[in-house]
Amino acid sequence: MVTLVVTLALMVFGYFALTNLKTNQTPDVQPPVLVVTVPYPGASPETVEREVLNRIEDAMSGISGIRDIRSYARDSVATIVVFFEFDKNLIEASQEIRDSIASVRDKLPTEMKEPYLRRV
């Protein structure tokens, strides 16, 4: 009987403690992800991959703080999703991506439109 009373008392105290607990454990974290979209009108996915994605990915390989790169080639557009380490400054990362694309711009097709970046 004593065990039952103690167990119930602990459950009641635990419930009250849980409902009154102030939680500030969910920080507002911006994911360090940038998406590069490169329009290439009229190009097939194979052409987009060969002439755009491979060259831009190679140029971006020297950027520090990249955790992962995922690329997608579709009709008339290339999409590159770049995941960075949490301590990477995204403004700096955006500029590094722009610089790396500019460094291979002369090797990219002239029909390709200007790439644009956005945060996710």
Number of domains in the chain: 1
- Model-level pTM? 0.74
In a domain? residue 112 = yes
Q: Is residue 61 part of a domain?
A: yes
Question: Residue 99 falls within a domain, yes or no?
Answer: yes
User: Is 4 domain-assigned?
Assistant: no
The edge-to-edge listing of strands for the beta sheet with 116-119 is 66-74, 77-84, 33-39, 116-119
CATH classification of the domain holding 76 = 3.30.70.1430
Residue 81 inside a domain? The answer is: yes
Domain residues for the domain of 93 are 33-119
Task: Specify which residues 88 forms β-bridges with.
Answer: none
| pLDDT digit string, tens, across residues 39-94 | 999 999 999 999 999 999 999 988 999 999 999 999 999 999 999 998 899 999 99
* Assigned domain for 39 exists: yes
